[in-house]
Amino acid sequence: MQKAILNPRPEHFPNNEEQPPAMPECFTPNFIDHLHRSFNGPQLAAIQWAAMHTAAGTNRVGSARRQEPWPFTLVQGPPGTGKTHTVWGMLNVIHLVQYQHYYGALLKKLAPESYRQSSRKTKVRHTIMT
């Protein structure tokens, strides 16, 4: 990451033509609709990448988590183009992904049967949506 920041070259950055990742499973259809109504295409793509990076980071454990830097998203543009609005959206989805990870871990520890039931519902909802 340091090399990409101090000496930026196209090969250090992902292809901007890549499709953004799918929305995380913890996002409800209503929340996804809200995101689509509130953000334009490039803003929504930045939000989806932030959510995907956060979800991937919460799945890492142990020393690998501490050694590997998380990817970052640079939000740039002229004044009045929605940078602050986009960062606000990114922070919301990062918070949601982290909270769902925390809630799932807590539920798994304190109420394993409820955790199994909620996991089944999530899988059924995901199957219905795809």
Distance CA 101, CA 51 (A): 12
Q: Which amino acid belongs to residue 102? A: Y
Residue 63 has a pLDDT of 43
Tell me the average pLDDT of the chain: 77
Each residue's pLDDT tens digit, 24-70: 888 889 999 999 999 999 999 989 988 887 777 655 554 454 545 55
Residues 53, 54, 60, 65, CA torsion sign: positive
Any idea which of 19-23, 31-35, 39-43, 98-102 has the lowest mean pLDDT? 19-23
Q: 61: which 2 tokens?
A: 């454990």
Q: What's the rounded mean pLDDT across residues 86-91? A: 95
Q: 9: which 2 tokens?
A: 């070259």
Statement: the pTM of the whole predicted model exceeds 0.85: no
Segment (H or E) for 11? none
Each residue's pLDDT tens digit, 73-86: 778 889 999 999 99
Segment (H or E) for 83? helix 83-110
Sequence-ordered list of residues with C-beta below 8 angstroms from that of 50, at least 6 positions apart, any chain: 73, 90, 93, 94
44 contacts 19 by C-beta, under 8 angstroms: no
Q: 51: which 2 tokens?
A: 């959510």
